[in-house]
Each structure stands twice: as structure tokens, then as C-alpha cells.
Structure 1
């Protein structure tokens, strides 16, 4: 009989590629993870890891144990889900990861409602980067992640994870209220070819690429005058009359009177907001209840962020 904690350590090393990365994901020190794997090697009388550059790879014996661990963890979660279904009422604890704007516009109000409708359900929320949310759910270090991709750049979700769509989140144009086009009901990028732009600092981001590609297709290049990442900072620059910007609707801060929000016509960036969980745990009543609360709040958010409300 193998110790499950030691198996989890080995499993995490395979997922993250190094002992240090596995330790960070598990919340342990690298030495603690190394000790767990050393003890496991003694149990099986075989080395489980070997060095590969700056990281490590699993030996054949390590792969066998890691594959078995994957099945063990999946079976355990399925059993827990079945047991939860036998109980009356929704209870338990969920570890939820979320990106910042979805916390403001989606998760916070949904969790507030769950406090009233499912008081025995405990949800621990953690803000995280999109880049590691999927891996943390895969590794069992979180139960649910609220994440997003873009309609023009969908991400591939592994088969052992399940995806639950929540909402679509279009991008609008922010203009100073004194801008000559601020009174328009909608705008095309053709109306803004000579405008000074405020964009984020990541040239690979969807909005930056969209602006660059759309301008190039029209024989223009964007006149980028400021590069900042935080939404409130972009809004402050627009408010001061220093340029225009694009901004998704979800989690958008309240606009000052000096800023006008105008919908874009035609091709525009649109985010797809969704939650992911492990397929083996998707039957849990707690996860289904959370997903339903998020979907209900998503409907409210979409209604509240229509162009008339945004302007």
C-alpha cells in the first residue's frame, strides 16, 4: 500500500517538470517533496526521477506510479461526488481560482448570493494568473477555475477537464466626453484611424494584436501614445483627454462623467468567460451549485452592461 501523499508529490513533479515547481504548487518546500519521493523510491526499490537539464523526468517506474496516481485521484473524486449527491442540501468546501475582472463583475456577487442560498457551502476564492489556473485544477490544487479565452483565439481544454460556458464579454471604445465622436451610438474602427490610442504593455495581447491587425488591413498603423495595463489607469488617461482605449465590459470600474463608452461595430475582440473543473469531480453538487450561481449572475452582468447601461 503506497502513501497517497507521496504519490501526489510524484504526480505533481510530472505535471510541473521540477521538484521546485511541484513544491510551489503543493505548498511545500522542495526538500519536503524530495523526501516524499525518496521514501517512495525506497518502497518500490527503484529510482523514480532522473535529471534532465535543469529539471527532472520520470523513469519508467515513475511513469507507472504517476499514471496509477491519476486513476486513484480520479476514482477518489468520483466517490466523493457520489457521496455528496446522497446528502441533503449543498455543503462542503470549494477552492476557486479567478482572474481579477471576473472577481469584480461575476464571482463576488455570485458568492454573495450563495451565502444566502447555500449557507453550508464554503467557497475559498483566490485571484490567480490565467497561465497557471488550468494546471492547478488539473493537479488537484483547486476545484474550479473561472477563466477566459477569446472568440478569435480559443484554448484547447484537456479531455480530463470539463468546461462550463458562462458569458461572452465584448470590448467597447472609451472616449473623452469632449471627443467629437463621443455622441455616437456606435463606432467603427474606420472612424478612429487617426486617433491617439492607449493600449496595454503586452504586444501579444488580443486587444493589441486586434488593433494592429485591423489598422494594418486599412493601410494604417495605430498612433499609440500611452501603454498601461490597469483599467483604472487607462480610464484616468482617457478622462484627461489623452487618448482613447478599448476595454471589456466585465468588471469595468464605474466610469467618470468625463468618459464616454461607445460600442464597436463589426469585427471586435470578444472574451469567452467559462469555468473549468476536473471531469471526475463535475458531479459534485457543490460544483454544480456554484456553476449555476455563476451563470445566473452572468445573465445579470450582461444585462447591466448593455450599451445603454454602459453609456
Structure 2
């Protein structure tokens, strides 16, 4: 196998026209340059240089290897530049998994901040599977995932979860509902009501189920919308009450009222999950900082 460093020495000899010129440019002694060329000729199995007066010129084989040495040198320089860009965050890729309501509240402002700071980073966004939101990060298919996770869950091996914010649920009722006159509802007030399911099965729905269990009942779902806007529409039509995270409420509606809940107040805790083994990455560091800023505001 040809030695790449020796090929670069040959290139210096051919470019400079002599062993002495190559030694000066490389900072070697002439004898060291001659030894490197001799070793390369042994590897190649053919003469690479021929003497002309006080200098040398390449043989056909020498010209061939010199051309390839130039290409290799260019590729190495490009690789060094690409690595430097990656180290400093001027380039790179970031894969982010998130759930829908975190997109507008957290991901959008954090991504905008990342693009301002590191515009060369390529970002891929994907909605999480609510049943297995941590799996893509654990398996290395995502760099970060936004997840909802109750406090009482044990740590996950290989993952670091950074708490970002808590989002409280609110009850959405038709304006003429018998409970609409109350400014604050105890969760048990809704025990006998039909419920509109606004979320698919997974951590977010578990937050509601655990809160209801703490209040001593299980909700009776009569409509499964799996969408917050649709759930609010069903509630407005009087089909049931809907519990919606504050961040997902789409503004006041003339046909509904929104009420606080207590005893207990369902709250989902939002985390950013990253691998503990992930190497330092400027893009990931900047995105996490953007998530913290978005959560703080």
C-alpha cells in the first residue's frame, strides 16, 4: 500500500524540481527526502524520478503519483476545513423530535435562535411517537427529543433529561354548562361529565389519568379527537368537557369558557432528552440554550 505522506514528499520534489528544494519547503534534510522517495519507489515497484543535471524530473509513474498526491492533498485540506466547521458549529446536522404543542411554544423560537447563531447547521424536525418518545434518542436516530414525563418516573440509562417548563391544563366547557359560572373547578367536579379525549394514548394522557385517579375517579371518554383544536370544537358543541394544555388553547371562543382546575391541577412537565454519551456539539448546545430561553419566556 502506498504511503500518503511519502506521496506528498514526492509531490514537493516534483514541484520544487529538486530534492534540495523539497527539503527546504518541507523542513526536512535532503537525505530524509531521498529516503522517503526511495521507500515510495519500493512500495510502487517502479522508478518515480530520474536525474536531469542537478535536479530531477518525474517519470511517467512519478507524474501519475504526483497528480494523485495533489488530489489527496486537496481532499485532506477540505476534510480539515469541514472538521473545523463542525467543531465550531459552522456546519453539522441536528435531528429534533418533538410533540405538536411544543413545536410552536419551544421548538420554533429555539430553532430561529439557532439559525441566527449557526446558519450553516442542517436541521431535521420530526414529530415524536407518543408511545416511545425516548427511543430515537437512545438509539442515536435523534439528537434531542422533547418529551412529557411525570416526576415519579425513574431515570433512563444513557439519557439526560433537562426540565424546561410545566404546562397546566385548563377545562374547556360550553358557555351554557352548569359549571361555567364557577371561576375555578375542582377536578372532581368533572367526574360525572362526558369527556372529550384531546390526546392519543401516551405520556400526555397519562398526566390526566393520574390526576383523575388522585381525585378519586376515572374519566369517561365519549369522543376521541387526538387533536386540541378539534377537542375544543367538540366541547363547544356540548359533546363533553375537554382538558387542554394552556399552550394549546387557541384563544377565547364565544361558545366556550375556560376554567382553572385544582385538587389536583393536572400539569405536564416538559423535558429535553439527550444522550449522556453524545460528544460536545455546538449546534446541540445552542439549540438547548434556545429551548431554555423559550421556556423562560
Deviation at 1:139, TM superposition (A): 2.1
Give yes or no for the alignment of 1:226 onto 2:223.
yes
Structure 1 or 2, whichever has the larger Rg, is 2
Deviation at 1:167, TM superposition (A): 0.8
Q: In the superposition, relative to structure 1, how do residues 201 and 294 fare at CA in structure 2: closer, same or farther (>3 Å)?
A: closer
Q: In the superposition, relative to structure 1, how do residues 197 and 135 fare at CA in structure 2: closer, same or farther (>3 Å)?
A: closer
Deviation at 1:224, TM superposition (A): 4.2
Task: Output the TM-score relative to the length of structure 1.
Answer: 0.59
Q: Distance in 2 between matches of 1:202 and 1:253?
A: 19
Deviation at 1:135, TM superposition (A): 2.2
Give yes or no for the alignment of 1:107 onto 2:107.
yes
CA contact (8 A) 2:134 2:145 kept: yes
Aligned residue for 1:298, secondary structure, equals helix
**Structure 2 partner of 1:93:** 93
**Structure 2 partner of 1:148:** 148
Q: Distance in 2 between matches of 1:299 and 1:147?
A: 17
Aligned residue for 2:277, secondary structure, equals helix
Deviation at 1:283, TM superposition (A): 2.7
Task: Output the TM-score relative to the length of structure 2.
Answer: 0.61
| Runs of 5+ unmatched residues, structure 2 | 1-82
Deviation at 1:223, TM superposition (A): 5.0
Question: 175, 180, 189: which is aligned to 2:187?
Answer: 189
Deviation at 1:282, TM superposition (A): 5.6
Q: In the superposition, relative to structure 1, how do residues 280 and 203 fare at CA in structure 2: closer, same or farther (>3 Å)?
A: closer
Q: Distance in 1 between matches of 2:84 and 2:154?
A: 33
**Structure 2 partner of 1:259:** 256
Deviation at 1:292, TM superposition (A): 0.9
Q: In the superposition, relative to structure 1, how do residues 271 and 110 fare at CA in structure 2: closer, same or farther (>3 Å)?
A: same
Deviation at 1:91, TM superposition (A): 4.1
- Superposition pairs of residues 25-64 of structure 1, within 5 angstroms: none
CA contact (8 A) 2:167 2:246 kept: yes
Aligned residue for 1:250, secondary structure, equals helix
Q: In the superposition, relative to structure 1, how do residues 177 and 155 fare at CA in structure 2: closer, same or farther (>3 Å)?
A: farther
**Structure 1 partner of 2:40:** none
Deviation at 1:222, TM superposition (A): 4.7
**Structure 1 partner of 2:293:** 296
- Which segments of structure 1 move beyond 4 Å, counting only runs of 4 or more? 82-86, 200-204, 220-224
Q: Distance in 1 between matches of 2:138 and 2:166?
A: 24
**Structure 2 partner of 1:74:** none
Aligned residue for 1:130, secondary structure, equals coil
CA contact (8 A) 1:102 1:251 kept: no
Aligned residue for 1:280, secondary structure, equals coil
Aligned residue for 1:277, secondary structure, equals strand
Q: Distance in 2 between matches of 1:296 and 1:124?
A: 21
Q: In the superposition, relative to structure 1, how do residues 90 and 154 fare at CA in structure 2: closer, same or farther (>3 Å)?
A: farther
Deviation at 1:297, TM superposition (A): 0.9
- Superposition pairs of residues 167-206 of structure 1, within 5 angstroms: 167-199=165-197, 205-206=205-206
CA contact (8 A) 1:177 1:260 kept: yes
Q: In the superposition, relative to structure 1, how do residues 291 and 130 fare at CA in structure 2: closer, same or farther (>3 Å)?
A: same
